[in-house]
Structure 1
Amino acid sequence: MMNQQPDSPYADAANASSSEKHDAEPGFRTEEDSYLPQEQSIDSLNAQVDQQFSEGGYGWVCVACAFLIYAHSWGIASTYGVFLAYYQTNDVFPNASSIGYAFVGGLTISCCVGVAPLANYLSHAIGASRPVILLGTILECVALLGASYAKQQWHMILTQGICLGLGIGFQFIIVAGIIPQWFVKRRSFANSITVGGAGIGGFIYALSVQRMLASLSLQKTFWILCGVTTAVNTVSALLVRDRNKESASNLGKLEFKLLKRPDVLLLLGWSVFSMLGYVALMFSIPSYAKAVGGTASQGALAGAIFNLGQGLGRPTVGLISDKCGRVAVASAATLACSALCIVMGAVARRFSVVCGLSFLAGATGGSFWATFIDICLALDNGPDSDLRGYCTGTGGEDGC
């Protein structure tokens, strides 16, 4: 060909270099190419190990410790109905109003839940959950000890209201976030066993407090409660262990854009109204039993039966929700409890009927605590969503 140019030596060298590079390319791996398969392999291995680690072992010890902490924190709060009946019957605080007594019980619950963001912040700032739980144990001890020396109603507001609520909050908020870190498939069941401790503790303490108030005195009753709860909660706090480092839990900021999501609004609405009804029911059953002709001891027994229903009903609700769906089971239990409250107000005129309905109401009314965390996890859309922290006030990527 006339237009064909002779090959340049530079072109020959370039072609040879390109050919050698091409021949060597299949056997050559860059750092990035070799890193990606290795990263996937490590992540896959960690996921398998984490799956095996989270479904048993020491997690069950943590469940037992959390059960005891709930029993000796929320169980104490559940006995306020017994204390309330005693205060009103014996006129312990002169010139105290019924609104003031109700204010004490309301402060306990509101401080308990309202301290959640602070409890979570302290846990992440310290880098461990145990010190925060021990702080709550100390506050609960101070509250019960201070209540034993209360002479006026505002003393009870500070001790049995604010201080006790803060102590319970620092304990149960942190413990509630530890249990989901250890379980995946049985998360609802494990969590429901934990919160069932509140019902069992309330059942035991309601009967014990009534007996101690009748045979001892108000001051000695608080002393005994202080000693028992401090000992049990301290040992449980020392044995419980979180997995914040293994699960890469972090403190996420609140995302107010979540309020634009209809499912979040429905979840928050269900939470608010469930808590309103639950607290009113828990504190009013002993007084209602007395209103229909029962004695003070029968009122305490009705409250204890309500707590027993919680202790047995919450694990049952959690077990069923793992199999049948958490939202469906929570909705059915909430509807059942609402219907029972209507029936109780309409037909419960005998103590035996009050006890039966109290047990059923306790079994279904505590479904909020057994399913709420897992519903938050189900609605969460991944690591960029802070739905769990927003709804519980605790933040973090691991659920509570």
Structure 2
Amino acid sequence: MASMDEYPVTKGSEEEIPLDKFSFSSDDSSGSEEDQFLLDEEIATQKLPPVDRGAGAWKFLFGCWLIEAVLWGFPLAFGIFQSHYSQHSLFNTSKNIPTIGALAVGISYLGVPLTSPITLRYPQYHIHILFFGWALCILGLVFASFATQTWHLILTQGAMYGVGWVVCYTPFLIMLNDWFYDRRGLAYGILFGASGVSGLILPFALEALLARYDFRITLRMFAIIAILVSGPSFLLIRPRIPVHLQHKAPSPSGPPRPYNFLRNPLTYVFGCSIALQGLAFPLPPTFLPSYATALTLPAPSGDFLLALNSLAQVTGQILLGHFSDNVSTHLPHSVSSLITGLAVLLLWGPARGIGSLAAFAALWGAFAGSYSVSWTKIAARMAEGEDEGRRAAATMTLYAWFSFERGVADILAGPISSVLLGSDVRVGEFGVGKWKGVVGFCGGVLLLSSMGGLGWFWERRGRWGR
């Protein structure tokens, strides 16, 4: 794939494309030798838009932001649908309703290692792949609106939507890496902040629509809204490398050569830190509303805490993204885990009122919610040891496996919390008694995750090279 990582980053307004970077087969053009000569002249003089700035980069980022806000924000608000379905006459006897949301979110994490190599192999079809995934999400909503049994919802609103999102998501991440390099962390922070913004709006909007119209009309209305809001994004999303200069990656002549990062111990330090953080990540937002209820706080307290978490997440993702662009790759993820681990043990566990819970929700949103922003800089850093032509693929491969780890950890977090959850509420005790095990587990794994930052000292001493 012709990618940002394959060309030197220039600070000028435009960048020359070296002619020898591209090799056209006989299928790439047709016509006379004169036509071929003109095509070669065009390639030789072609200019690329600037990296990290300029109208093209920011328009691309805004287009992706709109899609992320609408399509990824929807499954993250599934709790509203779960409450509605559990009381609906068609589905209230089923115990499989949580599977719908779990599939929509889980496939999005677990599927990236499958979609990445395919998407990287066909760079000239990135926009087509993105549109196909987008359309699959819309169709999943429409088909779900005709459901009469729970398995219909599992297949459409769950699996179909999850597959659609991961297919849509993968190409725009790859193209985003072409548009941003030095400011890639900031770009990812802005992009991931989209779901935090929609998290402030969608739960309340969906709850109001479900209360008034039932799930069928609500799903169809949201499908129309998604088309109207995110559809125009396709006018903004353009690859930095022109399509006619991109080619399918050549098939390897022999067994694929292993990536160099697999021999670097730091890869596994980062991987363990990400896995440990993922075990704690879904638990506090899941239990905060129930925790507030156990403390006999006013009824809207749970919604307020989740909204505060989403608001802090937006700010945290942008700030942590900018932070990751300017410091060692070891620091952002380590600082994030350390602060959230201490917040769990010092604020959530001993909480007796809304003040402590609000402070915890804000810190959790700002630091835990922004944790995944650091993945792209970690992946790019570890890919620096690869040959120049393999760096883009190595970066996306590492990012895909970090995403896979998060998906597995999210799945494991559910049964782990079920084992740790107590049965009795005892106000005055740590974790109100019932959540004592969950709070202790979250704090412990987060502090362990933060120790991954010690790799910085080893690297500085030259023990672990790039």
> TM class by shorter-chain length?
0.7 to 0.9
Whichever residue aligns with residue 392 of structure 1, its letter is: Y
Q: Which residue of 2 aligns with 1:114?
A: 110
Deviation at 1:315, TM superposition (A): 0.1
CA deviations on 1:201-243 (whole Å, 9 max, x unpaired) are: 2222122122223333222222222111122222213320123
Could you tell me which of 343, 346, 353 is aligned with 2:349?
346
8 Å contact 2:185–2:374 — kept in the other structure?
yes
Please give the residue correspondences for 1:304-383 in structure 2 after superposition, counting only pairs within 5 Å.
304-343=307-346, 345-351=348-354, 353-380=356-383, 381-382=385-386, 383=388
Whichever residue aligns with residue 115 of structure 1, its letter is: G
Please give the residue correspondences for 1:57-72 in structure 2 after superposition, counting only pairs within 5 Å.
57=54, 58-72=56-70
Deviation at 1:351, TM superposition (A): 4.7
CA deviations on 1:306-330 (whole Å, 9 max, x unpaired) are: 2222112100111222233332022
Gaps of 5+ in 1: 1-42, 395-400
Whichever residue aligns with residue 75 of structure 1, its letter is: G
Whichever residue aligns with residue 216 of structure 2, its letter is: Q
SS, match of residue 217 in structure 1: helix
Figure out how many residues of one structure are paired with residues of the other and give that number: 351
Whichever residue aligns with residue 379 of structure 1, its letter is: M
Please give the residue correspondences for 1:161-180 in structure 2 after superposition, counting only pairs within 5 Å.
161-180=158-177
SS, match of residue 96 in structure 1: coil
Higher alpha-carbon Rg: 1
1:231 aligns with 2:228: yes
Please give the residue correspondences for 1:130-149 in structure 2 after superposition, counting only pairs within 5 Å.
130-149=127-146
Q: Which residue of 2 aligns with 1:85?
A: 83
SS, match of residue 148 in structure 2: coil
8 Å contact 1:71–1:201 — kept in the other structure?
yes
8 Å contact 1:69–1:233 — kept in the other structure?
yes
Please give the residue correspondences for 1:10-49 in structure 2 after superposition, counting only pairs within 5 Å.
49=14
8 Å contact 1:82–1:300 — kept in the other structure?
no
CA deviations on 1:31-71 (whole Å, 9 max, x unpaired) are: xxxxxxxxxxxx88978543971121210111111111111
SS, match of residue 53 in structure 1: coil
8 Å contact 2:101–2:158 — kept in the other structure?
yes
Gaps of 5+ in 2: 1-6, 16-47, 402-466
TM-score, structure 2 length as denominator? 0.66
Identical pairs, percent: 22
CA 1:323–1:82 in 2, change beyond 3 Å: closer, same or farther?
Answer: same
8 Å contact 1:137–1:230 — kept in the other structure?
no
Q: Distance in 2 between matches of 1:259 and 1:104?
A: 35
CA deviations on 1:293-317 (whole Å, 9 max, x unpaired) are: 4677654443333222211210011
Q: Distance in 1 between matches of 2:338 and 2:50?
A: 37
8 Å contact 2:140–2:156 — kept in the other structure?
yes
Could you tell me which of 90, 99, 103 is aligned with 2:99?
103
CA deviations on 1:67-87 (whole Å, 9 max, x unpaired) are: 111111221121012323344
Deviation at 1:282, TM superposition (A): 4.4
Q: Distance in 1 between matches of 2:9 and 2:350?
A: 59
Q: Distance in 1 between matches of 2:206 and 2:157?
A: 15
Whichever residue aligns with residue 400 of structure 2, its letter is: G
8 Å contact 2:76–2:105 — kept in the other structure?
no
